[in-house]
Amino acid sequence: MEVDGLRIVEFQHLRYVYEETEQRFVPGAVALGRTYNDMLQEASGLSESEARHRINTVGRNSVDVEMPSLPVSMAHEFFTLFYIYQIMCYYVWYYFTYWNMGIVMTVVVLGAAVVNIYTQRQIQSSIVQMTRYRTDVTVFRDGQWRELSSPDIAPGDLVKVSENWLVPCDMAIVKGTTVCDESMLTGESMPVQKFPIPERSTDVYDPEKGSKKHTLFAGTRVLSSGRNEEILAIVQTTGAHTTKGQLIQSILFPIPMRFKYNEHLKVLISLLLIYAVIACILVINFLLSNGKLSNRYAAFCYAIFVLSCVISPLLPVVITVGQVNASQRLEKLGIFSLNVQRITLCGKVRIFCFDKTGTLTKQGLDFLGVQPVKDCRFTPIVNNVKDAPSAEELLYALSTCHSVGSLEDRLVGNEVEVRMFTSTGWELVEKEGEQPCVKSKEEPGLELEFIKRYDFDHHRMSMSVVVRNRKSGKYYVFCKGSYERMQQLSSAASVPDDYKSVADRLAKDGCYVLGLSYRELPSDWTHEQVVAFADNREAVDENLSLLGLILFRNELKDDTADAIAKLKGGDIRTVMITGDNAMCGCYIARKSGMVASSSRVILGEMVSTKEMKKLVWRDVDSEEEYDLPGVKHLVAQGEDVELAVTGVAFDYLVSMGEIKGLLLNIRIFSRMTPDGKVECVKLHMETGAVTGMCGDGGNDCGALRFAHAGVALSDAEASVVSPFTSREKTIQSVVDLCREGRCSLATSFASVKFLIMYGLIGSVLRLFMYYHAINLSQWCWILVEGFMLVGCSYVITLSKPLDELKDMRPTSSLIGPTTLVSILGQEAINIIYLACSIHMLSSEVWYCPFSPDNVDVAKWWLMSDNHLATVLFFAVIFQQHIAAWVFSFGSQYRQPIWRNYLLLAFIAAVTTLDLYLLLGEPSIVTDRFRIASSTNVVGLPDIPMPMSFRLKYLGMILGNIFTCILFEYVVVLGPVRSYFRNKYHTDLIPMKK
């Protein structure tokens, strides 16, 4: 369509504009300022005409997901190739007046369709509720403030931010400070402080990186400013381009992931189709020749029976049911998924990466104290900063060098900073029209006013503040950050010689260590000079003097070590990717069991020399140094060593092309930026290993989104940052996810194998039947194709996961040797016993073969009244029992078969019925099934099947059962498989657990 002179199309709720110069449609976009300076210059509002043009370019600020009508939902469900195939298959039942069977299968299909339609409409309804939000927005248009509906705002609009306001789009704050609740979107449980973008800064605005603290995201709620000041923001993205819009997009249009299981399923169906076509041709030939059937259309319909048997219409249904069952079990454990198909993928996870703080360790940190520096020497650690030398500067630093805010008399912000500020006993004051300040509760009049605050930057690894002592009039700069960064920013004269070794030792002992530096500004500077100076961050971070180290204790969560042990026991490599320092990472890795206590840890880090920076590898305990070839030699020799690298060293190894040779031997990645975490996960995935990532959804959201199995420890049921979210906030959820993933994959295989086996058994049955021009009775078909097929297919999916992770993963190859040997071996056994059954019957002196010359073959009900039909019925019904039974074996990934109570009850009930039909006295039930043991029933053989033969035949059936069970236990799951696996299987991706 054409709007405002623009040729546009909309696809998946995104607008595309035709670009004349490129001769193609490109995503609609509005050019906004890239840097903070540019954004502030543009923060003057839009004209009505410009706003209209921008809305026409990118679309309205809404994601219009319409709730389809019931007829439309039904059409989407029924007018698919799957249902057309089902209709074709089940039509033949009605064609042959198999009314009972036709009705049974129709009810099954309609029931599944009703469930699918209901489920889809529930999901669609929740999505519609998520998108149908409208609110009034105060917008500066044409030089004046006006009230507009939220869909009518455009990128670049200047808006007023209100308290208790659900943010309608992504916007950057240009004035004022506020507190925001992001739990509905990212799962962050703590309220988050938001600050205005810095003035006179040429840094690039990027909400995925350092600009997140300046951004209000769509779908989050503004709680309070705390100072009742005017808060202004400039709209950045609207509609489907917002963070919330991307979440909706990921739900509506999930990115398909190639999984070997799905690819092999297509190949397997193609092979089955070829087999089915051959079987259909044979059936038609048998009926037209041996059966003397003249109606070719009737012969074709008989062939359709074979086709529907070989490629069961229930195949996609049982796979989905198994995944939904796994999803429901996970929800009971507090784990939620946006895409149930990802659960099966988790069954093949080989590597799982973990953030440290808040993931492996507890969310909160305990403030231990500070280790002050006095006269370039460390003094003893003090718990109360007032007891330290330079107590005044340390107290000022701890009370001001943070981004803590207040919300309804409650401190909010980073947990570390809240604990640090609380330890001072000072009070945070935020008043309208005044600069925020902190004041001492013990010394009246002692207040420190914030002049400038540079929030923590992941790339700088530090934050800085410029403050004024209102009582003395002195100005100070305080800077806090990683202890490595503080060493770089502080003058060498203020740094003790043993600074690095002391800090490393504290970190190695499990302390979360930060460095602290300061500078007192010249007393002759005017306030205006200080303000001008404070606008230059590079200048602010110069000429600092080291004050000391701030120490926190970050303990492991109670179940972290147990979860890591379970994952390693399940042959899953665990890796740490943290923004914290390497020594603290080593401590947590050892304490959690990620690194064995006996293993040496060799750390790779960049060291500055006079000429250049070089990569140095050092044993963290003995300080012994190695070069890169030496480290490679240790790894190649299989030494008991674990590698660790810093973020800078990681970047160096990537740039030099050395990372791939060392990647699967590096256990700890420290001081990693958000981009570095994404790159690290990406490299692990490129090895071919299915890779997971677990974090709290903070600075690791990119890595969580990128991983095959991202698990966000979050309060939200659906998080924009990850395919899976866990409300339990423990890595035990990763163990549960892997258990369910393996169970789901094994169950999917069991379901597919059962349906394939059912198809092969059924097709061979029909070939035998139509070769002899016989058929089963209608009630036999109801039991075989209705009750048994649907019932067994369902109860197989109810298998629950094993309580522990075994040291192997289920196969994902449907055409691999394990799967093919299982299916073909079982089918070969069944064919042999089926042939033996016919031979046993034909060897009896009382047996009289059925002659098609005596009946009209088109009248199928006349073809079932014979001994052979009865024998074939019992052979096939028990072979179906066996298939459902043996494919539920294998307790490596699922609980033992005897724990699937519904499966046991179902098999027991059907077996009881079968034994009654085989061995029971003639009755109305045996008559209804046309069992040839009945007497005085018109059409059945004059000579009933003797009890002696039935008992002998039961012995053959038991032999069939025993042989199939023995084959599955010994060959497929037992010693034969182990022998060939140990002899021929090679690990394509060798790695340490």
CATH H superfamily, domain 279-330+743-983: Calcium-transporting ATPase, transmembrane domain (1.20.1110.10)
Q: pLDDT over 90 for what percent of the chain?
A: 40
CA distance 753 to 87: 24
Quote the pLDDT of residue 496.
94
Residue pLDDT, tens place only, 46-80: 999 999 989 988 888 988 888 888 899 888 888 87
Quote the pLDDT of residue 536.
87
Residue pLDDT, tens place only, 425-473: 899 988 776 788 999 988 888 999 999 988 887 778 899 999 999 999 9
Only one residue has tokens 């709290």, namely 696
Confidence of residue 880 (pLDDT cuts 50, 70, 90): very high
pLDDT above 80 (res 645):
yes
Task: Centre a 10 Å sphere on the Cβ of residue 320 and count the other Cβ atoms it contains.
Answer: 17
pLDDT above 80 (res 187):
no
Average pLDDT of 705-724? 78
In sequence order, the β-bridge partners of residue 141 are 46, 144
Fold of 371-553: Calcium-transporting ATPase, cytoplasmic domain N (3.40.1110)
CATH H superfamily, domain 347-361+556-727: HAD superfamily/HAD-like (3.40.50.1000)
The domain ranges of the chain are: 28-64+133-252, 279-330+743-983, 347-361+556-727, 371-553
Quote the pLDDT of residue 943.
82
Tokens of 551: 């120490």
Quote the pLDDT of residue 126.
72
Q: Which of 700-709, 799-808, 868-877 has the lowest mean pLDDT?
A: 700-709
Tokens of 507: 């970190």
pLDDT above 70 (res 226):
no
Output Rg (C-alpha) for the chain, integer angstroms.
36
Residue 310: burial class (beta carbons within 10 Å; 0-12, 13-18, 19+): buried
- Which is more confident, 896 or 103? 896
Quote the pLDDT of residue 834.
94
Task: Give φ, ψ of 228 to 5 degrees.
Answer: 55, 35
pLDDT above 60 (res 291):
no
Smallest CA-to-CA distance from 123 within 293, 440, 339 is with 339
Task: Give φ, ψ of 213 to 5 degrees.
Answer: -70, -10
Quote the pLDDT of residue 10.
83
Residue type at position 658: E
Average pLDDT of 206-235? 82
In sequence order, the β-bridge partners of residue 407 are 410
Average pLDDT of 838-847? 92
Contact assessment for residue 558 and residue 363, using Cβ atoms and an 8 Å cutoff? no
* Mean pLDDT, the chain, whole residue set: 86
CA distance 404 to 505: 29
pLDDT above 80 (res 843):
yes
Residue pLDDT, tens place only, 598-625: 899 999 998 876 667 889 999 988 889 9
Architecture of domain 28-64+133-252: Distorted Sandwich (2.70)
CA distance 506 to 978: 48
- Which is more confident, 352 or 814? 352
Burial letters for 485-502: b for 16+ Cβ neighbours within 10 Å, e otherwise?
Answer: bbbebbeeebbbeebeeb
Task: Centre a 10 Å sphere on the Cβ of residue 851 and count the other Cβ atoms it contains.
Answer: 10
DSSP string for residues in 844-897: STT-----GGGS-TTSGGGGS-SHHHHHHHHHHHHHHHHHHHHTT--TTTB--G
pLDDT above 90 (res 307):
no
Residues in the chain: 993
pLDDT above 90 (res 104):
no
Helix (H, G, I), strand (E, B) or coil at 660: helix
| 986: Cα within 13 Å, side-chain hemisphere | 1
Quote the pLDDT of residue 874.
95
Q: Which of 435-449, 905-919, 953-967 has the lowest mean pLDDT?
A: 435-449
- Which is more confident, 759 or 697? 759
CA distance 512 to 416: 9
CA distance 246 to 240: 6
Helix (H, G, I), strand (E, B) or coil at 299: helix
Task: Centre a 10 Å sphere on the Cβ of residue 879 and count the other Cβ atoms it contains.
Answer: 28
In the 8-state DSSP scheme, what is residue 991?
-
Cα separation of the two ends of the chain = 57
Entry pTM = 0.81
Quote the pLDDT of residue 650.
95
Average pLDDT of 624-648? 90
> 905 CB contacts (<8 Å, ≥6 apart)?
none
Average pLDDT of 257-269? 81
Residue type at position 24: R
Q: Which long-range contacts (CB under 8 A, 24 or more apart) does 23-28 make?
A: 28/57, 28/58, 28/59
Contact assessment for residue 609 and residue 592, using Cβ atoms and an 8 Å cutoff? no
